[in-house]
Amino acid sequence: MPGHIKKTSGPDPDPSPWLCVSHELKEKNKAKPYDPKKSVWVPNKADGGYLEGLLESKEGNKCKVNVNGEVKVFKEDQVCQVNPPKFDCSDDMASLTFLGDACVLWNSVVRYINQLIYTYSGLFCIAINPYKRFPIYTLRTMELYIGKRRNECPPHIFAIAEGAYQGMMNTGNNQSILITGESGAGKTENTKKVISYFATICSSGKRKEGEASLEDKIVQTNPVLEAWGNAKTVRNDNSSRFGKFIRIHFNAAGKLSGADMVVYLLEKSRLTF
């Protein structure tokens, strides 16, 4: 995957610009023109998205909205109120005042534009593939999430992994992480990051001379599967043509003790022998 952040041999770079909303960005968002009674979202037929406009009048179930200087008529159920600018780039969309489709889409877009690719939506963590390499999967980033609650850190796949790990250690029950999305969304990459996180924070430390550690073996299983189970598609050069259920085992001390994987829905027609 191409990227503009090159890996260096020095200390890990500060991941904050790609995780946290800066003070300057917050102030910029607050300065955005906004009318709490008139600012609305309306559908844009041209691209299937939404445009921001000002509500001028309402007659029955018809609304007149000024969009870029042009007055248009929309049905009442097509018009959605705009959230106050202070909510732009919100970490958790469940905290938005208005939760219409346009509001959720706008918050996702404005975070993506500012290179904040992870956003919470209640219990879920939404990831938007930037098709660039950001330095947010380093050991320095992992250390920000170890032992922390989800609301104590910026949205990240590591926070989800840490939450599952804490749940397992506190309750003694099995935990599950479901990673789903359309082709090219980043399912395979985020799965590898979860495995790497567990392999790093739950390392047993036991390693024989000249032999790969258990953690290394677990991390290295994905490239093997990708070699024969992935294929190039219109939207993704390395698309997984199969689903997989990965089960990671921990001992009573919370250290890695093993892993197994079940592969299903394999598209055998894509295999080359």
Please tell me what DSSP assigns to residue 82: P
Residue pair 160/125 in contact (Cβ under 8 Å)? The answer is yes
Residue pair 30/86 in contact (Cβ under 8 Å)? The answer is yes
Give me the pLDDT at residue 258, please: 86
One-letter identity of residue 147: G
Alpha helices in the chain (DSSP H): 23-30, 101-113, 139-145, 157-171, 187-201, 214-219, 221-229
C-alpha to C-alpha distance for 110 and 153, rounded to whole angstroms: 20
C-alpha to C-alpha distance for 222 and 229, rounded to whole angstroms: 10
* Residue owning tokens 């000249």: 210
Give me the pLDDT at residue 136, please: 96
Neighbours of 18 (CB within 10 A): 21
What residues pair up with 81 in beta bridges, in sequence order? 40
The pTM assigned to this predicted structure is 0.85
Q: What is the pLDDT along the chain (273 residues), one digit of tens a residue?
A: 334 445 556 788 999 999 999 999 999 999 999 999 999 999 998 888 999 999 999 998 999 999 999 999 999 999 999 999 999 999 999 999 999 999 999 999 999 999 999 999 999 999 999 988 999 999 999 999 999 999 999 999 999 999 999 999 999 999 999 999 887 788 888 988 999 999 888 886 665 666 667 767 777 777 777 776 677 777 777 777 777 788 999 999 999 888 888 766 655 555 555
Give me the pLDDT at residue 222, please: 72
How big is the chain, counted in residues? 273
* Residue owning tokens 């991390």: 219
Give me the pLDDT at residue 1, please: 36
Give me the pLDDT at residue 246, please: 86
Give me the pLDDT at residue 92, please: 96
C-alpha to C-alpha distance for 12 and 113, rounded to whole angstroms: 24
Please tell me what DSSP assigns to residue 14: P
C-alpha to C-alpha distance for 163 and 263, rounded to whole angstroms: 25
Q: Reduced to 3 states, what is the DSSP secondary structure of residue 143?
A: helix
- What average pLDDT does the chain have? 86
Residue pair 48/90 in contact (Cβ under 8 Å)? The answer is no
